[in-house]
Structure 1
């Protein structure tokens, strides 16, 4: 009889653990890609604290790639103080491709795994005349390209720039987007 009670108790315990695990693995609405953007945003905003909402207004602009190195993330208190509520975006620091990608991946990993809601950041770069980073191609300014009267050339230039930006994980580019004037000189 004791053996049967033990088996029943063990089975009940396993069932409770299984149910708890299934509930913890349930996809939260804001992370569910099958829901509309409006429903996902509404759910996420309802879960966010004021500090997390303020965190989404914060941007890090830093020209020092060592700012987010292994030592920074090893100091949990320091990392939590700066990134604990999330950040909206990370602006340029002028490093080579490898260091840029490593740093951006390190930041995204921290935000995904160590912040309460796992909201990723997005990365911004300057694209006035191509990507303004080491190991990137520099082109004439947009106004100069417009003076060429060659839309195909313009498209080729910014296709190269787009490829260089996406290879670094850039999500948002600060760049001219309309031809406000043409100077045929």
Structure 2
């Protein structure tokens, strides 16, 4: 029987570790460290910071995330107790607007959706194609009078069209149910 001490350690080939992209969590942690001057690389340190200074944590997250939002980012929250707090009460964001945002031609060309079907080939949509379809359906929904706070219900398949309908409904501020 071989002991753990005798098992050779597996290592990545030279240069391979640096080829892996940084995770979003690691990038956000680095952003928080540079913004606060605190050492937060250990998960427990980041967790402690997010609890002890939660207003600063969420303010930094909003800055780092570059989310498209409308309104005032202050106050971060309305109460010291999470159970009673309303976070970013004067800020609004639209899920579809952020999901379908295209920052570069390369981002627009990337596959955003693959819908598999039992009896036909898969439907593949780039981010630009998905965005175009969603905007067209959202425009139609607005012409029909659908707006913020409304509900849209559909009997829909598990397909690309249902995703487009759901995102278009979110784009106009309504709720989608299927």
Q: Could you tell me the TM-score, scaled by structure 2's length?
A: 0.24
Higher relative contact order (CA 8 A, sep 6+): 1
Query: Which structure has the highest strand share of the two?
Result: 2
Greater C-alpha radius of gyration: 1
Query: Which structure has the highest helix share of the two?
Result: 1
Q: Could you tell me the TM-score, scaled by structure 1's length?
A: 0.23
